[in-house]
Amino acid sequence: MQAYDRKAQRLIETAEPGGASVRFLYGNPLGRQLLKAITGKRFSDSRAKYYASPRSQKKVAAFFREYPQACEGLRATDYPSFRDFFIREPDPADRPLPEEEGALVAVADSKLLVYTIAPGTVLPVKQSNLTAGQLLGDRTYAALFAGGYALVFRLTMENNHHYVFPDSGTVLREYEIRGKLHSVQPITGRQGKVFTENTRQVSLLDTAHLGLVAQAEVGALLAGRMVSHGKREFRRGEEKGYFDLGGSAIVLLVQKGRVAIDEDILGQSAQGIETLVRMNERVGVAI
């Protein structure tokens, strides 16, 4: 797949770890039969036990061989299991905050697409259409974001899976919506409203510069568990939690007229192209 590299200011080819397996599960009739068995909690829990065991260390070494760029500066032998590698702490020195107080920052290392939330609160996520109400599990909350922006941060296996708050403020409400554990790779959007079925954790945030923000962490295959630190007051760039295994996504909803998204990201998003972003990198600014 292609993604936009902001530093190089050009499109680059990016790897999609596990992409072949996802294409089989969602694009093949036999795969879709198997999918019924593996999108539930029992399968996810059994795989999680394996990835937390020393037996999975060989997968760490294999990952380092296949994706050396994603593992730059790391040593496979430092991680006794694949889970230990997956939930590794990010390096704060490599993810500095912007100096502008009103800057909206990327909440995770990821690929970012930005959409305008159309009238009627219908939110397009890749090839799937879903409402903001379905994402949040509440139409009343969703109506508050009509005409604003939805920022979809898609994390894949090579990303660090810790995530932060986009601004300083307080948590108004935090709740979990249980569901199935689908992949969040783009191909799954053609099979239905996948984001509305995935387990997700939703937080309504009262922020200092961006106003009301909804932040929804979306679990995926082998990543049904989002570990929240449970903070009620927070600072911009402070860690909010992390995903425990698997690919995943985070969706931010911001209200109309509150944020100006950076032009390069908007331009690529208009063409359906994701932009590579790092945690704490500026992606917009408060109006």
Residues assigned a catalytic role:
109, 248
Residue type, 103: A
The whole-angstrom separation of Cα 145 and Cα 213 is: 8
The whole-angstrom separation of Cα 196 and Cα 198 is: 6
Residue 9 backbone dihedrals phi, psi, to 5 degrees: 55, 45
Q: What is the DSSP letter of 198?
A: B
Per the CB < 8 A criterion, the answer to whether 88 and 109 are in contact is no
The whole-angstrom separation of Cα 108 and Cα 276 is: 10
Among residues 115, 51, 103, the alpha carbon closest in space to that of 281 is found at: 103
The whole-angstrom separation of Cα 10 and Cα 13 is: 10
**Which structure tokens are listed for 154?**
């898609």
